[in-house]
Structures are given as structure tokens and as C-alpha cells.
């Protein structure tokens, strides 16, 4: 770690608007996990399989699945099967650039088929939505609302992409940020 922040004022600089330089150094320390367990003995009560109890009846409203513009380890159907086996109540899939309600509908049909065949014992509800990452387009949202598994609209967190560079957007697709 660089030591550019040697004075007191610089020590309070925020990294990513969340972490101080001091906290980043703590998190990167070689003994971080040892200290974490020492300071939080309750963590030792965590055991393999605890997530199964915690996921029963849960709703995950922010899932990105394969295919996507970045690698995702599972597709909607694989995630939905795992959620069904865990006893989850519902899933909501997001896609930065496309409507996800159409694929959510197909994944729901497949899960329902597996439940009907007896390969799964629990039906998980699967939803999608539409984002405004390409700009605010009321007509696109009106159309997306007609999809049977449409449940959410998500907005950009900032006009910049994750890389910090404004994405190239066609003039006709872009509205006010």
C-alpha cells in the first residue's frame, strides 16, 4: 500500500466515498481474518449449510445472470433451481442493458415444469424488469410493463459507467439523465 497519506488530514481522505485510507489499510492487513474472528467470536457459529436455513422464504431482488456483458457463473435457470432447492420465495433478475422479464418468464415456465414432474418440490417465483441505463424512455417502460413477469424498474446510479467513462449512447435513445 502506498504511503501518500502521511499527514492527519490525508488520513481522513475517503476512498470511493465509503472507506478511509486507515480502514483500507486495516482491511488489507495480513492478520485481518484473525483479528475479525478474535473481535467477533459469534462468527465461529457460522457453519456450512447455515445459508439453507437463512434462505427459506427469502426474496433476492438483485441478481445478474449469464449471459451478460461481464462473466456470470450461472444462468437464470441454474440460479432458479438452486433457489427452489433452498426454499426461497422469489428472485428478481436484472440486466443493465435489456429487459429481463422475458427471460424470467421462460425460467419460470421451466421451474414450473420441473415442479410438475417432481424434480423440484418448491416453486420459486421468478421476476425481471427493465433498466434505464440507456436513458429514460417511457415508451420502453410502457411496453415492458406488458410482460407477465415484469416487477421492477431500475435506474442508473450515476451518469458514468462502472469504469468511470460515460457510455456511448445513440442520440435518439438518450433522454435526460
- Residue 85: Cβ-neighbour burial (10 angstroms; 0-12, 13-18, 19+): middle
> Is this prediction's pTM over 0.85?
no
Q: What is the pLDDT of residue 88?
A: 96
Q: What is the pLDDT of residue 131?
A: 85
Q: What is the pLDDT of residue 113?
A: 98
**Which residue stretches of the chain have pLDDT < 70?**
1-18, 157-177
The answer to whether the beta carbons of residues 79 and 124 sit under 8 Å apart is no
Per residue in 118-144, pLDDT (tens digit) is 999 999 999 999 988 777 888 988 998
Q: What is the pLDDT of residue 70?
A: 84
**All three cell numbers of 15:** 476512498
Q: How many helices (H) and strands (E) are present in the chain, helices listed first?
A: 7, 6
Q: What is the pLDDT of residue 148?
A: 93
Q: What is the pLDDT of residue 174?
A: 37
Q: What is the pLDDT of residue 18?
A: 65
Amino acid at each position: 500500500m502506498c504511503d501518500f497519506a502521511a499527514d492527519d488530514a490525508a488520513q481522513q481522505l475517503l476512498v470511493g466515498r465509503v472507506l478511509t485510507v486507515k480502514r483500507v489499510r486495516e482491511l488489507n492487513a495480513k492478520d485481518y481474518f484473525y483479528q475479525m474472528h478474535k473481535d467477533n467470536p459469534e462468527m465461529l457459529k457460522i457453519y456450512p449449510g447455515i445459508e439453507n436455513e437463512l434462505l427459506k422464504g427469502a426474496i433476492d431482488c438483485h441478481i445478474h445472470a449469464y449471459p451478460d456483458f461481464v462473466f456470470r457463473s450461472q444462468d437464470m435457470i441454474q440460479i432458479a433451481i438452486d433457489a427452489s432447492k433452498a426454499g426461497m420465495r422469489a428472485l428478481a433478475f436484472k440486466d443493465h442493458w435489456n429487459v429481463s422479464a422475458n427471460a424470467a418468464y421462460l425460467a419460470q415456465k421451466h421451474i414450473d415444469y420441473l415442479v410438475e414432474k417432481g424434480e423440484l418440490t418448491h416453486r420459486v417465483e421468478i421476476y425481471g424488469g427493465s433498466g434505464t441505463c440507456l436513458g429514460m424512455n417511457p415508451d420502453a417502460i410502457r411496453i415492458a410493463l406488458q410482460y407477465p413477469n415484469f416487477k421492477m424498474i431500475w435506474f442508473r446510479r450515476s451518469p458514468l459507467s462502472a469504469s468511470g467513462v460515460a457510455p456511448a449512447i445513440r442520440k435518439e435513445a438518450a433522454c435526460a439523465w
